[in-house]
Amino acid sequence: MSRINALNKPPKSLKCLNTKPKPLTPNDSAISLMQNTDERPDIMSDLSHHKSLRISIISDTHTVLDERIADVIKESDIAIHAGDICCGSVLEKMHPKLGHIFAVTGNNDHHTIWPAEQKEIVEALPDIVEINLPGGILAVEHGHEHGHHKPSHESLRQAHPQARVIVYGHTHSQVCDKDELPWVINPGAAGATRTRGGPSCLILTTSDNTGWTVEALRFEDITT
């Protein structure tokens, strides 16, 4: 069963440079990580002990996860959701190989929008997640606080100068901005809402010695 790695609010951001991260293993659970966060508000997730990782990145599902993207996630080591999840069933359909799902809250992830019985899940979602990966740090947030209609990449870079790659969502538009470091990437929408050409996702491959690569995937829009 996949595990949702969600850190309690607060903090608004995670201080990752002045802490010794806790390594994650497939046996970690969402509950244990949230309990650790109560004691260590600056904790970040550490997967840097892996030689390389294949990471599925999605966002803006709005209650629906495209089945083809769910299949892509199954072939990845871990999975990222950059917010506007809107229903716990989306997270339940994500099954990466190592079992780790890192999800952040979007502007539509509110307990009044989610099913009432899932209030504890949505309220446990963090605003920001930072993950120590082979070769660098990945920062994830929804992005709406950096510009509602068009989040500013400059603002995101200023907010996460320690990151190698910054992931955001919100716009439903797939973007790979590699003009400068950190890279700023957006997977687009992985559901059925405003997919702008079809449901999409990104595959980030990280390594401590061969560099990082980003692959963009888009599937035919089959909604009627």
State pLDDT tens for residues 64-75. 999 999 999 999
pTM of the model as a whole: 0.83
Question: Distances from the Cα of 207 to the Cαs of 43, 61, 186, in angstroms?
Answer: 22, 28, 20
Q: What is the pLDDT of residues 141-181, one digit of tens each?
A: 999 999 988 999 999 999 999 999 999 999 999 999 999 99
Checking if the pLDDT of 16 tops 90, the result is: no
Q: Rounded to whole angstroms, how far apart are CA atoms 73 and 183?
A: 22
Q: Rounded to whole angstroms, how far apart are CA atoms 83 and 85?
A: 5
**pLDDT band of 210, cuts 50, 70, 90:** confident
Residues 24 and 101 sit within 8 Å (Cβ to Cβ): no
Q: Where are the alpha helices (DSSP H) in 132-197?
A: 153-159
Residues 73 and 79 sit within 8 Å (Cβ to Cβ): yes
Q: Comparing C-alpha atoms, which of 10, 2, 1, 40 is closest to residue 22?
A: 40
Give domain 3-218's CATH number out of 2.60.40.10, 1.10.3720.10, 3.60.21.10, 3.40.50.300.
Answer: 3.60.21.10
Domain boundaries, the chain: 3-218
Amino acid type, 115: P
Tokens (6 digits) for 59: 């966002």
Q: Rounded to whole angstroms, how far apart are CA atoms 126 and 8?
A: 6
Q: What is the pLDDT of residues 34-56, one digit of tens each?
A: 333 443 333 479 999 999 999 99
152 — phi, psi (to 5°)?
-80, 120
